[in-house]
Amino acid sequence: MTTGNIKNFEEQENKILLVEDEDSLAIGLAYNLMEEGYSVQVASDGRNALEQFSRENYDLIILDIMLPYLDGFEVAGRIRKISEQVPILMLTAKSGIDDRVKGLKIGADDYLVKPFHLDELLLRVRGMLRRKRWYKSRTASPEYHFGNNKVNFDTLSCKTPEGEIKLTVQEALLLRYFLDNRGRVLSRREILKDVWGMEPGVETRTVDNFVARLRKYFEENPKKPQYLQSRRGAGYIFLNDPDASEK
Ligand code: CA
């Protein structure tokens, strides 16, 4: 299979690019996603995925890591150079804990470990698309300042000490959550539940990696954060008045 182009009969706004080289898995997932009412296109290798991505607008990318020609990391990295906003769900191997971290660092929004239950995938997809829609519909007070940072939550563009950057939707949601709850210690579980909509098990690396990303953007010294601080054994707290934090 080179490229499957499978259209839904129903009118459907959510278009998913599924990048998976295992034919049987790709066909099964595409079928089930279409049953849920999504429009699905399949790319069976990394090059193909980028070609399709450059031609069409997608609402979500489901991206396997082990792919011919270009692997999922490479594909995610290149997609992020073109679009900061399209949600990326990575499919990782069970053994590859480093892969999950690497994927999140490159710009994936979430990951699923293979083999996964179909229901779990559909739940994640639904959640990611819902957050994207919810995010788009938020227009009140789009600008926020802290320190030398200015964040525009409409465009997701930010002025930081490092220069102009663009946030991914998931990064923006997390930052927004910290801002809405500033001055409050937030546990990783709480964050995962409220921002990702996940009932967390022991898996909290996702939060840590996203916090690291935000610190890299906004902190003068990410190792000694002024705004997004850790509270050992408790979680994270956002302080927008760093002088008041020394307690
Ligand atoms: Ca694969």
The pLDDT value recorded for residue 181 is 86
Distance between Cα 126 and ligand 1 center (Å): 23
The pLDDT value recorded for residue 203 is 62
Distance between Cα 240 and ligand 1 center (Å): 43
The pLDDT value recorded for residue 174 is 93
Average pLDDT along the chain, 247 residues, taken 10 residues at a time: 38 82 94 93 97 94 95 95 88 79 86 91 89 61 86 89 87 89 90 78 78 94 95 92 49
Cβ distance 171 to 111 under 8 Å?
A: no
CATH number given to 4-137: 3.40.50.2300
The pLDDT value recorded for residue 1 is 39
Distance between Cα 7 and ligand 1 center (Å): 23
What is the dihedral angle through the alpha carbons of 29, 32, 38, 41, rounded to the nearest 10 degrees? 30
The pLDDT value recorded for residue 22 is 95
The pLDDT value recorded for residue 4 is 40
- Interatomic CA distance for residues 16 and 40, integer angstroms: 5
The pLDDT value recorded for residue 247 is 38
Spatial neighbors of 68 by CB under 8 A, at least 6 apart, are 21, 44, 45, 46
Distance between Cα 225 and ligand 1 center (Å): 38
Specify the pTM: 0.66
Burial 116-150 (b: 16+ CB within 10 A, else e): eeeeebbebbebbbebbeebeeeeeeeeeebeebe
- Interatomic CA distance for residues 177 and 18, integer angstroms: 29
The pLDDT value recorded for residue 26 is 95
Q: Determine whether domain 143-246 maps to CATH 1.10.10.10.
A: yes
Listed by start position, the domains of the chain span 4-137, 143-246
Distance between Cα 73 and ligand 1 center (Å): 12
- Interatomic CA distance for residues 117 and 230, integer angstroms: 34
The pLDDT value recorded for residue 6 is 42
- Interatomic CA distance for residues 58 and 247, integer angstroms: 47
pLDDT tens readout for residues 128-168: 888 776 665 554 568 888 988 999 988 889 999 889 998 88
The pLDDT value recorded for residue 41 is 96
The pLDDT value recorded for residue 128 is 87
Range list of H helices, 40-93? 46-55, 72-82
pLDDT tens readout for residues 34-48: 999 999 999 999 999
Distance between Cα 56 and ligand 1 center (Å): 23
Distance between Cα 164 and ligand 1 center (Å): 35
The pLDDT value recorded for residue 84 is 79
- Residues linked to residue 110 through DSSP beta bridges, in sequence order: 89
